[in-house]
Amino acid sequence: MTLRPTEDGQAQTEALGDVLVIRVLGRSSRDNHRELADRLREHAAARPGRVACVIVMSIPGSTPPDEAARREVLDSLVELGARLAALAWVVEGRSPIQYAARAFLRGVAGLVPVACPSKVTADLGAAIAFAKGAIAR
């Protein structure tokens, strides 16, 4: 994958066909999330059908976004409506902090106001396969 960094270097994105992969590396800010939301909108606008999003968080390293930053990405996901086929979160690694982050995300996944299947995993390949499979349905 050739990941394209955000202006502040705190995240990267890569389009894999209809799947947009977002890798969060560091401190989340509203500007950073606005840029990621814009990239998600651009990604969807460039494709005629359904799309999916995979969000990879580097733990430790990335930090949870504040409410304003979180709204930026959530609003872009909600805007996609039925075009959003799947949403997956990836926290790679096997340390206690990474297990805890995945458990937290599993709880949060049910609160995200999108009507698509979601997955939380430690495996990027599995998340991409899940996303592509949901698009194909």
Backbone angles phi, psi at 54, to 5 degrees: -120, 125
pLDDT for residue 25: 84
Supply the pLDDT for residue 127.
Answer: 97
Q: What is the pLDDT of residues 63-77, one digit of tens each?
A: 777 777 778 878 888
What domains are defined for the chain? Answer: 4-136 (3.30.750.24)
Q: Report the predicted TM-score, pTM, of the whole model to 2 decimal places.
A: 0.89
Report DSSP letters for the chain, one per residue: --PEEPTTSSEEEEEETTEEEEEE-S---HHHHHHHHHHHHHHHHT-SS-EEEEEEE-TTT-----HHHHHHHHHHHHHHGGGEEEEEEEE---SHHHHHHHHHHHHHHTTS---S-EEEES-HHHHHHHHHHHHH-
pLDDT tens sequence for the chain (137 residues): 578 888 888 889 999 999 999 998 877 777 788 898 899 999 999 999 999 999 998 877 777 777 777 788 788 888 999 999 999 999 988 889 889 989 988 888 777 778 899 999 999 999 999 999 999 98
**Is the backbone of residue 93 left (phi > 0), alpha (psi -120 to 50) or beta?**
left
Supply the pLDDT for residue 1: 59
Tokens of 27: 């401190």
Residue 19, pLDDT score: 97
